[in-house]
Amino acid sequence: PANGGGNGSAGAAKKKKMNGYVGFSNYPNQQHRRSIKRGFNFTLMVVGESGLGKSTLINTLFESRVYPVKDGEDSSTPRNGAQVASPTGVDITSVSADIVENGVKLRLSVVDTPGFGDSVNNDEAWRPILENIESRFDAYLAQENRVNRSKIVDNRVNVLLYFIKPTGHGLRAMDIEFMKHLHTRVNLVPVIARADTLTPREVEQFKAKILADINFHGIHIFKPVSDHFDDPETISDNKAIAGKIPFAVVGSEQYVVRSDGTRVRGRQYPWGVIEVENENHNDFVALRQMLLRTHMEELRDQTDVSLYESYRTQKLLALGHVQNNSVFREFNPRRQQEEEERLHAAKMHKLEAEMSAVFKQKVHEKEGKLKQSEEELHSRHQTMKLTLEKQRRDLEEKKSRFTQSDSPQVAAAAAAANAANASFVDPAQR
Ligand code: GDP
């Protein structure tokens, strides 16, 4: 399948060709042009009950029939034969499309979750979706840990559009459960589905209730930030977008004719027309602006730097890979190998230094001993020399005394003294 990471629960992945103009290459405020030049992946997941208009919205968003819409069908009918019902009744399907716009390449993947919220008991409906998102993180982590990391395929989910049923009564238990379980793993963007079924006043009240519920339950949703932009126009555009969350959207596969004769996407009612791309009619344009034109890069960054990093840390901590405050170093085989090599080199260096110190010490000791024995020898030689010198003088003296007495004994003694003198050899000349 084109989308290798989407293997969490069940699922079919297929590849589509899209020609419609999306607008991601018009990125006046997107920061990382480098990645935009190289081409990049963007994975969008849609979650919500069947019939809320997810497929229609995706097709409207990408100006293409990414998904078939089930007009008039039973909305719980699976969309293609490849789907297999999972025990929770939620299936995960993925569609990928390569889009090139103004020389910018985008691999777009849309992940749908048909069956979510359609069961009698939806207590566990969030689980397969969380598992799918985490399995994509796992796939990325496994690639990161490979020695050759040049061809990492990034199938992590960058944004999740959560479709809220337009009841007008705030979030349901199922919505809250879902968001509470998912908000630390994905950029959550809540969307009020089929907003044309509510009056503008009802939409405003519904939004306030939803935001109050989100705050009350400590749910973290994605908010476009403005503080890193300098341009006042961009800042005010971002604030306007942020002020529309949760986006109340209307999607349509149909076109309507406006009073000026132009054909636009919209929904025709007996009382008038709702235009999809009219900012006064609904928040579709603001949502598209945020997802594809102004905040695509920020959504990718958030996924990588914040959501994925915290998942990775938790995962490695859970595996018990914590050493020297370095969670990742120990787990990553390449870094681990480098670390081992570094430690080995340091050990060898230390050993060498120790050996050299021991050698120097020994040489020093030996030199000291040699010097000492040399001095001893020298002093012994001096003593012997002095002794022999004294003996020679004594004998000389005796000889002269005997020579002076002239007796035959004296003559014999003198001869003996001469003989002794002749046999004397100076030890220094030996
Ligand atoms: P999904 O099951 O959530 O993917 O829903 P679909 O996109 O297949 O739409 C189900 C039905 O709702 C179709 O008949 C659509 O024409 C209709 N629909 C989709 N979007 C809207 C909308 O914004 N407003 C209204 N009134 N109907 C919509």
Per-residue pLDDT of 319-346, as tens digits, reads 765 544 444 444 566 666 766 777 777 7
ipTM of model over 0.90 = yes
Strand ranges inside 196-288, DSSP E: 247-248, 255-257, 263-269, 272-275
The answer, yes or no, to whether any atom of ligand 1 lies below 6 A from the CB of 52, is yes
The answer, yes or no, to whether any atom of ligand 1 lies below 6 A from the CB of 60, is no
* Residue 15 scores a pLDDT above 60: no
Q: Separation of 54 CA from ligand 1 center, angstroms?
A: 7
| CA 399 – CA 404 distance, rounded (Å) | 9
3-state secondary structure of 347: helix
| CA 400 – CA 390 distance, rounded (Å) | 15
Say which residue, 405 or 429, is predicted with more confidence: 405
Which residues contact residue 165 at a Cβ distance below 8 angstroms, ignoring those fewer than 6 apart? 48, 49, 52, 172, 193
* Residue 310 scores a pLDDT above 70: yes
Ligand 1 atom nearest to CA at 195: 23
Give the pLDDT of residue 423.
63
Give the pLDDT of residue 253.
87
The answer to which of 33-47, 70-84, 122-136, 250-264 has the lowest mean pLDDT is: 70-84
Q: Separation of 109 CA from ligand 1 center, angstroms?
A: 20
The answer, yes or no, to whether any atom of ligand 1 lies below 6 A from the CB of 194, is yes
Percent of the chain with pLDDT over 70: 73
Give the pLDDT of residue 418.
73
| CA 201 – CA 95 distance, rounded (Å) | 36
pTM exceeds 0.80, yes or no: no
Segment 394-403 shows an average pLDDT of: 90
Residue nearest to atom 8 of ligand 1 (CA): 69
The answer, yes or no, to whether any atom of ligand 1 lies below 6 A from the CB of 250, is yes
Q: Separation of 94 CA from ligand 1 center, angstroms?
A: 19
pLDDT per position as a tens digit, 109-168:
889 888 787 777 777 889 999 999 999 999 999 888 877 767 788 999 999 999 999 998
Give the pLDDT of residue 383.
93
